């Protein structure tokens, strides 16, 4: 992407506030002692908003990676000894520091990734919320006590930290998903090595700076939270590294399969959050006002680049024309433009490659027989000079179309019709490889309960009268099938970041064996 303008004074101030030395490539090595000669190639980072050069980062090579792992190993020796409530206190301070930097960090998220400013602020709020949740976990990392079949024996299980947790995050949520993993992993006693997306590394540097302030104020080593900026080679090193017992990876199914295969080959643990081909079902009993609002937000928010974006709309035939008419009135009036403008609803796509995929998907689905109803254009003009702005598209299609079956990371909404009972709609929804998020809009209790039952949605997230996007921190986030099966964030997801141990204590002078086995010497 070519630079179209220089950084505004506002963005220069944001980078300065976040202590992101965007013109010093050495800073991105993850080692504050790094020099300009360390690491691999230098990568320029341009904003999808206006094409301006935000900064340059030095991509890590294997030597830098080794230094970061060594730093993390040393940090673990210190961090694991701290009682969990004390670890929680550090996480609490990180949450407070994030509150201080919420506005500038939210702006940097918007400028580097392209989502509207309200979503940028919301992403930072997710980080704050997960810190609060982790603080609560710090006093509730419970094990269980069990009754032994042997007299005068006590049995219980407990959870211990694993060591280094590797986090590979995607560009669409450049900071929140890291925090989901990092704060829970850290409060459990682990240290973290984070490889952010090479498309959005500056927000990663900003977060590293914020955390480093807290660690320094508490005389803790830098190796508790570690950053390494690199390409797929670094992700591969992490996946194959036996020193990293758990790798959490967020991104495409293709990427996740490579990570899962590499980690599985060494019998490590992988937490995979991958593709989503999410659907909303609108039944004949739906509240139409709620359904339309949820559909538009889910389909065009973040310019269709959320893993939970609404991609398929499954509509009962009795409401189909009404839904289509409503959407065709709304889409042409969507405000598309600079995401830092408070009036904008749809910002840019991440880069030219994403725009090309958007155009290709629309071309392919029309070749299959799909009918493009609205949108699909790439916007031109001074306000869209970066070349990343598109008009969200609506396509009438059939469930079996290849493009409908695939996840296209773009603002394309497929309208699908069903005729019978809700079971037919659920079957259409489930008949894809992905299984992340799903939703139904209905005022009918039987339809709602069927959707949530064992014969209903096969996704990790199933909502009633709520859209597919907007998960809360308190619930476990993740999906099934090609989505990977991982669970992050709330509920009891913390257990995956720890190793479980069963303990039996004999407080008698005898040595009885389980199952009544006699073994006399």
**Does the structure show a pLDDT above 80 at 29?**
no
56 beta partners: 44
- Give percent above pLDDT 70 in the chain: 96
CA dist., res. 431 & res. 516, Å (int): 50
Show me where the domains of the chain are located.
9-274+487-499, 278-472
CA of 223: how far to CAs of 161, 219, 369, 469, in Å? 15, 12, 55, 34
**Does the structure show a pLDDT above 60 at 72?**
yes
State the number of CA atoms in the 13 A half-sphere of 110 facing the CB.
27
Tell me the per-residue pLDDT of 246-300, one tens digit each, with 9 for 90 and over. Answer: 999 999 999 999 999 999 999 999 999 999 999 999 999 999 999 999 999 999 9
> Cα dihedral angle (128, 133, 134, 136), rounded to 10 degrees?
130
pTM for the model stands at 0.94
CA dist., res. 360 & res. 307, Å (int): 19
Element (H, E) at 376: none
Helix axes 422-430, 445-452, angle to 10 degrees: 30
Q: How far apart are the first and last CA of the chain?
A: 78
Split at pLDDT 50, 70, 90, the class of 470 is confident
Q: Identify the pLDDT of residue 2.
A: 46
Both structure tokens of 318? 């009795």
Which amino acids are annotated catalytic? 273, 307
Which residue blocks in 331-478 are alpha helix, DSSP H? 352-368, 402-405, 422-430, 445-452
Per-residue pLDDT, averaged over 122-137, amounts to: 98
Tell me which fold the domain 9-274+487-499 belongs to: Aldehyde Dehydrogenase; Chain A, domain 1 (3.40.605)
Number of H helices, E strands in the chain: 15, 21
Tell me which fold the domain 278-472 belongs to: Aldehyde Dehydrogenase; Chain A, domain 2 (3.40.309)
Which residue blocks in 218-351 are alpha helix, DSSP H? 232-240, 253-265, 288-300, 320-330
**Does the structure show a pLDDT above 80 at 472?**
yes
| Burial of 515: CB neighbours in 10 Å, binned 0-12, 13-18, 19+ | exposed
């Amino acid at each position: 992407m070519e630079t179209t303008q220089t950084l505004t004074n506002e963005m220069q101030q944001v980078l300065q506030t976040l202590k992101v030395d965007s013109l010093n490539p050495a800073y991105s090595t993850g080692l504050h002692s790094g020099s300009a000669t360390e690491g691999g190639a230098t990568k320029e980072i341009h904003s999808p908003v206006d094409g301006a050069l935000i900064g340059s980062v030095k991509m890590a090579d294997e030597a830098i990676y080794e230094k970061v792992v060594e730093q993390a190993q040393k940090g673990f020796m210190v961090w694991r000894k701290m009682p969990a409530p004390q670890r929680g206190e550090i996480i609490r301070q990180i949450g407070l520091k994030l509150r201080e930097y919420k506005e500038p960090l939210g702006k940097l998220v918007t400028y580097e990734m392209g989502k509207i400013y309200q979503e940028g602020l919301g992403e930072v709020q997710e980080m704050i919320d997960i810190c609060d949740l982790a603080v609560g976990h710090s006093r509730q990392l419970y094990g269980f006590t069990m009754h032994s079949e042997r007299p005068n024996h006590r049995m219980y299980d407990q959870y211990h930290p694993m060591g280094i947790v590797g986090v590979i995050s995607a560009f669409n949520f450049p900071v929140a998903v890291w925090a989901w993993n990092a704060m829970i992993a850290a409060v459990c006693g682990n240290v973290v090595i984070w490889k952010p997306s090479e498309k959005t590394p500056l927000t990663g540097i900003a977060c590293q700076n914020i955390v480093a302030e807290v660690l320094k104020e508490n005389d803790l080593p830098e190796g508790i939270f570690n950053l390494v900026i690199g390409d797929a080679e670094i992700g591969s090193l992490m996946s194959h590294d036996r020193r990293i017992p758990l790798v959490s990876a967020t991104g495409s199914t293709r990427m996740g399969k490579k990570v899962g295969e590499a980690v599985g080959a060494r019998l490590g643990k992988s937490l995979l959050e991958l593709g989503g081909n999410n659907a909303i079902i609108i039944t004949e009993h739906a509240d139409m006002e709620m359904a339309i609002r949820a559909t538009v937000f889910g389909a065009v928010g973040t310019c269709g680049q959320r893993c939970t974006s609404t991609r398929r709309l499954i509509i009962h035939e009795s409401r189909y024309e009404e839904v289509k008419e409503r959407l065709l009135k709304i889409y042409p009036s969507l405000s598309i433009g600079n995401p830092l403008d408070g009036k904008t609803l749809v910002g840019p796509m991440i880069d030219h490659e994403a725009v090309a995929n958007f155009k290709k998907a629309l071309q392919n689905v029309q070749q299959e027989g799909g009918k493009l109803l609205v949108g699909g254009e790439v916007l031109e003009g001074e306000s869209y000079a970066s070349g990343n702005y598109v008009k969200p598209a609506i396509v009438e299609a059939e469930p079996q179309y290849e493009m409908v079956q695939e996840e296209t990371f773009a603002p394309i909404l497929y309208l699908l019709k069903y005729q019978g009972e809700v079971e037919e709609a659920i079957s259409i929804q489930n008949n894809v490889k992905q299984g992340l998020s799903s939703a139904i809009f209905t005022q009918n209790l039987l339809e709602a309960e069927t959707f949530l039952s064992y014969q209903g949605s096969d996704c990790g997230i199933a909502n009633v009268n709520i859209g597919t996007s907007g998960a809360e921190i308190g619930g476990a986030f993740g999906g099934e099938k090609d989505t990977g099966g991982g669970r992050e964030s709330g509920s009891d997801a913390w257990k995956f970041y720890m190793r479980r141990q069963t303990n039996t204590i004999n407080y008698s002078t005898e040595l009885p064996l389980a199952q009544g086995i006699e073994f006399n010497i």
